[in-house]
Amino acid sequence: MGMAFLTILLLSLLASLSSAEFEAKLGVNYGQLGNNLPTPTRSVELIKSLKAKRVKLYDATPSILKALQNTDIQVSIMLPNQLISNFSSNQTLSDQWVYSNVKPFYPQTKIRYLLVGNEILSDQSIKPTWFNLVPAMRKIRYSLRRYGIHKIKVGTSMAMDVLESSYPPSNGTFRSDIAIPVVKPMLQFLNKTKSFLFLDVYPFFPWSDQPDNINLDYALLSATNITYKDPVSGLTYTNMLDQMLDAVIFAMKKLGYPDIRLFIAETGWPNGCDIDQIGGNIYNAATYNRNVAKKFNAKPAIGTPARPGVVLPGFIFALYNENQKGGPGTERHFGLLYPNGTNIYDIDLSGKKPLSEYKPLPKPLNNEKYKGKLWCLAKKGANLTDVSAALGYACGQGNGTCDPIQTGGKCFKPNTLIGHAGYAFSSYWAQFKKLGGTCNFNGVASVTAKDPSYGSCKFPSVTL
């Protein structure tokens, strides 16, 4: 009788512990690609102020892990992509990394997840590494167990481009180049270890690619009378996020693993963008992220149409606007906070604040595509050494790109670095935008709708 009572008590305790692990379902990604970000100690205070109970790091920075000690914040850390190949065939290297980067901080820092790489299956330039991913995951798990660290789950983060088909959701299928050699053994590993499939899921990107075909409110999780019914499964969808997640669920089912749990490694919406982009603004970002917080923290859990009532743990991207990220302007504007620590907009990641209690935000002006001419100029205050390097790069890429700013050319005067860079950047962008060229140049350039041409000097432009 006593033993039976103890068994029931133990099972009850384990259930409560498991429940506690997932009680706070939403956290935040803490990126560090900025030269003006707060200290780790201050950042941990700010994470708490957002009521986030989870944080995901993109490495295992000791100062951050130390700042997170003795907090109740669950932590995800990451093994850098460049280490995967070496670790896949060398247990000693794996052991050393875990010994140096995990063991000193555990369990005082609540490390719960270790992700082996970040979106490596999206990067064609490191294709040989793809086939080393699962072996590296196995090595890392073995290292954790060697040091008695059994609670940390091992996974890897994947973007939605691991699917070759996602519409309708029931047609979700992994890419043929990775499905059998990489994804299937990965799913087998995740299933065996009771880990998660970590996904980076952004409704912003499909919407911004097809704003005329996808309703904005549907992408923002704000639609009240818009639904989509999958013609094959018969499931009805009320938002884009659920569609994207279920496409992955159906893809896993096709490979024989229908029940692996999903963990949203990244989701979010940009609070700003370049003029040639669309939909990146504070209103949309606040709307989307507040709706995500409400959905992920709902009790009982909402789940998705393919998995109703199933808990979805996740992380919002990102803690800060990061000024050193490359790519288009949206990449530097995903933060919940400005680098000085102030809120870009009010948000409660616990989901407890009713949406009706948030103060109204001004309606955005860039939810429709800009139509007109654009130019690419050097940013005010940009580092002149960096501008000079970018000028050299732009002039070296195309025939005649910089001829007008050579001595005697019609745009040579005024003979200034900023003036010449503006012409070179605009000329490069006009030639290469259709091939993927951007107006960024490592952060020293930005788009303008004001024509910088003067006299007989006509700057090349991009017309949208």
Integer CA distances (angstroms), 75 to 64, 222, 464, in order: 10, 30, 43
The single residue of 119, 164, 322, 357 carrying the catalytic annotation is 119
Classify burial at 100, counting beta carbons within 10 Å of its beta carbon; exposed 0-12, middle 13-18, buried 19 or more: exposed
Whether the link from the prior residue into 300 is cis, omega within 30° of 0, is yes
Q: Distance of CA 231 to CAs 203, 237, 460, Å?
A: 21, 11, 48
How open is the CA angle 283-166-285, to the nearest 5 degrees? 10
Comparing CA positions, the residue from 398, 221, 386 lying closest to residue 294 is: 221
Is residue 207 within 8 Å of residue 216, measured between CB atoms? yes
Here the tokens at position 94 are 């794996």
Contact assessment for residue 163 and residue 175, using Cβ atoms and an 8 Å cutoff: yes
Instruction: Write the single-letter amino acid at 198.
Output: F
Token pair of 157, please? 């983060």
- What separation in angstroms does the CA of 136 have from each of 99, 128, 460? 16, 13, 49
Looking at residue 34, its amino acid is G
- Amino acid residing at 331: E
Length of the chain: 464
Q: What is the DSSP letter of 454?
A: B
Round to whole Å and give the CA distance between 428 and 411. Answer: 15
Q: Is 23 a catalytic residue?
A: no
The active-site residue out of 21, 23, 164, 266 is 266
Identity at 215, one-letter amino acid code:
N
Q: Which residues contact 200 (CB under 8 A, 6 or more apart)?
A: 119, 157, 158, 159, 160, 264, 265, 266, 267, 317
- For 324-386, the DSSP string reads T--SSGGGG---SB-TTS-BSS---TTS-S-GGGSPP-PPPS-SS---SEEEEEEPTT--HHH
Would you say 57 and 266 are in contact if contact means Cβ atoms under 8 Å apart? Answer: no
Q: What does DSSP say about strands 261-267 and 196-200: parallel, antiparallel, or unpaired? A: parallel
159, β-bridge pairs: 200
CA distance 238 to 55: 28
Which positions are annotated as active-site residues? Answer: 119, 266
